[in-house]
Amino acid sequence: MQGEISALIQLMEDPDEEIFAHVKQELSRMGDGLIPQLEQYWELNNLGPLFQLRVESLIQELQYHAIYKRLREWKESDDKDLLEAMLILNRLSNPTESELQLKQQVMKIRQDIWLELNDFLTAFEAINVFNTILFKVHQFQGVGVSVNGHNTLGELLATKRGEPLVIGALYSWLAEALEIQLPAINVPGDCILAYQELDYKGGVETLFYVNPHQGGQIVSREEIEGMLVAMQYPYDDRFFNTAGRLEWVGRMINSLINQSIANRDDKKVSELRALQALMLE
């Protein structure tokens, strides 16, 4: 089998477009598990610029199809884990970055917070623990929405700087992992989290709101309404409804689209729009 695969890979340099199309189809069926072997051929075999260009293009296609498949599986999962979604989207920008190392970094932050929590803390005190660990110990910092990055988990962990959606997603995931409910609400232009607890009737009550982008600042509904007025958004009660995970991830993809548009990367824009459409299906 390995011999057949090697023979097919070497045929990637065939100038006959029909032969190349057939070879590419056969190799594509093997999925992203073929990528290490393709990379090895690309690095070690001097088979000319046409071969290298075609192999590089095939690797990128296999990587994208693997991301699309994985994101679809995430969408169809019951829990729709935010950390998993961030890891998937991170592969779009850095397909070779170790997900294990990223997870280890996140779990270290979770452990640091867990060590400072106890059952006797009030809700405000618990948020103060989160803010101390995230913004003082680990020195994370929120940055404004731009087209210069800081919108993936890898960038956030490497630079300690993140746009509202990604730093909010990390904050919310850490809270949920520590059995604190901090879902996002539908406020446009930012990522505001709602600190929620069960009320005496068994329903959900929002005690206050948290803005991870501003160092975990605790804000009231009235302050959020004032912020919306300042940004000239017409008032809508739906802004305070809990945002769904699909919508959240869709907005994160949109941030990547805007960055790709600014970089004039039409192919990446097309791929990202397909992922965005997947979230809307």
pLDDT (tens, 9 = 90+) of the chain, 281 residues, equals: 566 777 777 767 777 777 778 778 877 888 777 787 777 776 666 666 777 888 788 888 889 999 999 999 999 999 999 999 999 999 998 888 999 999 999 999 999 999 999 999 999 999 999 999 999 999 999 988 766 778 999 999 999 999 999 999 999 999 999 999 999 999 988 899 999 998 777 778 999 999 999 999 999 999 999 988 888 888 888 999 999 999 999 999 999 999 999 989 999 999 999 999 999 88
Q: Do 126 and 185 fall into the same domain?
A: yes
Q: Do 137 and 177 fall into the same domain?
A: yes
Q: Do 132 and 261 fall into the same domain?
A: yes
Which of 31, 51, 76 is at the close of a domain? Answer: 76
pLDDT at 3: 63
In the numeric block, the tokens 């948290």 are attached to 210
Which of 32, 48, 76 is at the close of a domain? Answer: 76
Q: Do 153 and 250 fall into the same domain?
A: yes
Q: Do 217 and 193 fall into the same domain?
A: yes
Q: Do 138 and 193 fall into the same domain?
A: yes
Q: Do 154 and 225 fall into the same domain?
A: yes
Q: Which domain holds residue 11?
A: 2-76
pLDDT at 69: 94
Q: Do 103 and 223 fall into the same domain?
A: yes
pLDDT at 120: 94
CA distance linking residue 35 with residue 230, whole number of Å: 50
Cα four-point dihedral sign 37, 41, 44, 49 = negative
Q: Do 57 and 177 fall into the same domain?
A: no
Q: Do 276 and 225 fall into the same domain?
A: yes
Strand partners, 9: none
- Which pTM was predicted? 0.89
Which of 47, 76, 105 is at the close of a domain? Answer: 76
pLDDT at 46: 64
- Our count of domains for the chain comes to 2
Q: Do 268 and 150 fall into the same domain?
A: yes
Cα four-point dihedral sign 43, 46, 47, 51 = positive
- Tokens standing for 231? 């940004």
pLDDT at 30: 80
Q: Do 97 and 223 fall into the same domain?
A: yes
CA distance linking residue 99 with residue 202, whole number of Å: 38
202 neighbors 209 (Cβ within 8 angstroms): no
